[in-house]
Amino acid sequence: METQVLEDQKVEISWAHFRMPPFPQVALKVLQLASNENVQLGKLGELISSDPAFASEVLTVANSLLYAPRYPIKSILQAIEVLGASHLQGLCLTVGIRAYLGKSLGHPTMRTLWRHNMACALIAQQIASAGFMDREIAYTAGVLHGIGLLGLAVVRPGEYVHLLGTHIGTPASLREQEQRIFGIDHCELGKKLVHDWNLPDDFVSIMSAPHAEHPGPGEWDMAELVCLSCRMAETTGFAAFSACHAATFDELLEELPARERKLFHTDIETLAFEVSKKIAALESA
């Protein structure tokens, strides 16, 4: 059953009619394996190297200006030694999402979704660096937080591109439209994919983080960090859809804990420039 989105009518379709294309298995296995603190680096290297095309892409990104290694990284094992297992987890997820989107990344709306995810990940990494959280886990969580957005874009590209191109409002109002049109919103789909892909349960809370209520005093965890990073991505010009109603940067800075606020960027222009530069480096790899 096809969905036609008209100005005066929206035809609902059941999620049961959707067929999700498979996500690159090596990337998922790396996510599962790298979450184990006792993982053997050699085993992780063998897993990545088992898919030559994927391994080649990982090495290309590892040697890009995004990471700017002091010396060329010539093997997956060297990449693990230089970057670390937790860092490689986020890198492989990034490569996996690029492969998942494939040629559709050439479409402006798809590229906007991709850049939103990457901006969230890069901002999450910076906030974590300013505090006491693991910056690589923050990056991975930031990349993964929008997997439901990308999933809807992959499975129903025509309808979803139209929705993103015409919707005006908040991310929460976008979820309402997704529910009405597709029978599922991107947060619910994200949770479903985390479960279907057998990823660590810790990632489940990340899926709804961008739309959770603001934390109370003293509450600060990875989900809250990703929530704030997602909204900062929107404010710095990397929203998932062009007519997104975003909070002001000053309002978002006030939500940071004292230590993070002191060490994080104080002006939006610098943050936007740094994020843009890193995304450009990744896209040119």
Contact indicator for 173, 161 with CB cutoff of 8 Å = no
Mean pLDDT of 249-270: 91
Number of domains in the chain: 2
3-state DSSP assignment of residue 16: helix
Question: Does one domain contain both 87 and 131?
Answer: no
195: in domain: yes
pLDDT at 1: 35
Domain enclosing residue 249, as ranges: 107-285
Question: Does one domain contain both 95 and 170?
Answer: no
Question: Does one domain contain both 117 and 82?
Answer: no
pLDDT band at 16 (very low <50, low <70, confident <90, very high): low
In the chain, DSSP assigns E strands to 168-169, 243-244
Q: Tell me how far apart the alpha carbons of residues 86 and 31 are, in angstroms, rounded to a whole number.
A: 9
- The encoded tokens of residue 258 equal 């004292």
46: in domain: yes
Cβ count near 22 (within 10 Å): 8
Please state which of the ranges 62-71, 161-170, 207-216, 230-239 shows the lowest mean pLDDT. Answer: 207-216
State which of 53, 68, 102 marks the end of a domain: 102
3-state DSSP assignment of residue 126: helix
Question: Does one domain contain both 135 and 266?
Answer: yes
11: in domain: no
Question: Does one domain contain both 46 and 178?
Answer: no
Cβ count near 125 (within 10 Å): 25
pLDDT in tens, 103-151: 888 889 889 999 999 999 999 999 999 988 989 889 999 999 999 999 8
pLDDT at 102: 84
Contact indicator for 106, 75 with CB cutoff of 8 Å = no
Question: Does one domain contain both 75 and 122?
Answer: no
Question: Does one domain contain both 172 and 210?
Answer: yes
